[in-house]
Amino acid sequence: MSRLPLIIDCDPGVDDAVALLLAFASPELEVLAVTTVAGNVPGHRTQRNARMIRQIAGREDVPVHGGAERPLKRPPAHAGEFHGPEGLGDLQPFEPAGIIGDGPAANAIVDLVMKRPAGEVSIAMMGPMTNLALAMKRERRLAERLGTVVVMGGARSEGGNVTASAEFNVWADPDAAAVVFGSGCEVVCLGLDATHQVRATEARIRAIETIRTEPARTAAAMLRFSQRVERTVVGWEAAPLHDPCTIAWLLRPDLFQLRPCRIEVETSSELTRGHTAVEFRVDPATARHRWAVGVDADGVFDLITGALTPAEDGR
């Protein structure tokens, strides 16, 4: 089987953790590295959390590189109330085994992409886009060498989750997002319009809880934590599952409806900081961006449940 070479840039984060567990359990993906960024919690915690999840998945072969501790131009902002102070909900932190990758995230991204043929390495972006923006500034040819950049970020019809118009990952570092969207890369953008359709209902969480492996138990614990936060903080019954949508799209693009567009990011107004202006009046033949307008949520959860189910269970 030819596997898709992939870098995962993330800020675990409970939903980032589920995304990592899905990716690690998917033989279709060749996870070249995980790079971490300050986002949901400070950078030293996102890096440790990624290594904790890597260990739980038994994938110490994958290097984890720590990255930017702060956005390009703004002070760091975190989202501890949605992820817990340590970033992985109720999961008790431990010092993970396994090495920390050599060199910072931005360098690792440049090295991994530039040593492969153009278009071969894709990257899944699950946090503020600081690392990729820094990598693009470091290596001007990076954008033309990257494969698809699949982003969890942005909001259009659905409105924002931090402010009226902005989603957290883009709002936290709008300047980095502007660099990525303006780079000429092919970007598939899965914003809140799509991820708010992918809800971790009671039945979907229970299906994962029946799987008796450590990765599945961990994924289910992340979903239970989010469910509790969603009910107490937001007032919704079932929490949206954002970041795993990036991995789901790479594995099963047929589960998503995308529209060609041009996406620009508001960086100057404090009121609408991080707003993603999604322009659909573009020539589809030359458009570099695609925006998700629909998703098969059952399909995404079936994919996660299936990937976490050991083969010998025959499911």
Q: Which residues contact Ca ion by CB under 5 A?
A: 11, 13, 16, 126-127, 243
Nearest-angstrom CA–CA distance, 236 and 230: 6
Over the window 254 to 293, marking each residue x when it contacts ligand BDR by CB under 6 A and - when it does not, the resulting string is ----------------------------------------
Which of ligand BDR, Ca ion, none lies near 45, with the C-beta cut-off 5 to 8 A by kind?
none
Residue 9 site contact among Ca ion, ligand BDR, none (CB < 5 to 8 Å, cut-off depends on kind):
none
Q: Pick from 5, 13, 66, 71: which binds ligand BDR (CB under 6 A)?
A: 13
Query: Residue 84: which of Ca ion, ligand BDR, none does it interact with, CB under 5 to 8 A by kind?
Result: none
- The least distance separating Ca ion from the CB of residue 243, rounded to whole angstroms, comes to 5
- Of residues 100 through 129, those in contact with ligand BDR by CB under 6 A are 126-127
Segment interacting with ligand BDR (CB under 6 A) among 9-17, 30-38, 113-121, 203-211? 9-17
**One of 161, 165, 218, 305 touching ligand BDR (CB under 6 A):** 161
168 contact, one of ligand BDR, Ca ion, none, CB 5-8 Å limit per kind: ligand BDR
Q: Which is nearer to Ca ion, 71 or 127 (CB)?
A: 127
Between the CA atoms of 8, 9, 11 and 13, what dihedral angle is there, to the nearest 10 degrees? -30
Contact 181, 264 (CB under 8 A): yes
Question: How far is the C-alpha of 185 from the C-alpha of 270, rounded, in Å?
Answer: 27
SS (H, E, C) 133-167: HHHHHHCCCHHHHCCCEEEECCCCCCCCCCCCCEC
Is residue 249 within the footprint of ligand BDR (CB under 6 A)? Answer: no
DSSP β-ladder status, 4-10 and 122-125: parallel
Q: Which of 83, 196, 242, 275 is catalytic?
A: 242
Nearer to ligand BDR, 145 or 196 (CB): 196
242 is catalytic: yes
C-alpha dist (Å) from residue 64 to 10, 33, 98, 248: 10, 6, 9, 21
| Residue 114, contacted partner among Ca ion, ligand BDR, none, CB below 5-8 A by kind | none
Residue choice 243, 251, 263, 278 for contact with ligand BDR (CB under 6 A): 243
Residue 46 found at the interface with ligand BDR (CB under 6 A): no
152 touches ligand BDR (CB under 6 A): yes
Among 168, 181, 249, 256, binds ligand BDR (CB under 6 A): 168
Q: Are strands 289-295 and 187-190 parallel, antiparallel or unpaired?
A: parallel
Q: Which window, 100-108, 162-170, 221-229, 307-315, contacts ligand BDR (CB under 6 A)?
A: 162-170
Terminal-residue alpha carbon distance, the chain = 21
Distance CA 73, CA 179 (A): 12
The verdict on 40 binding ligand BDR (CB under 6 A) reads yes
Residue type, 156: R
242 binds ligand BDR, rule: CB under 6 A: yes
Footprint on this chain of ligand BDR (rule: CB under 6 A): 13, 15-16, 40, 79, 82, 126-127, 152, 161, 167-169, 242-243
What amino acid positions are annotated as catalytic residues? 242
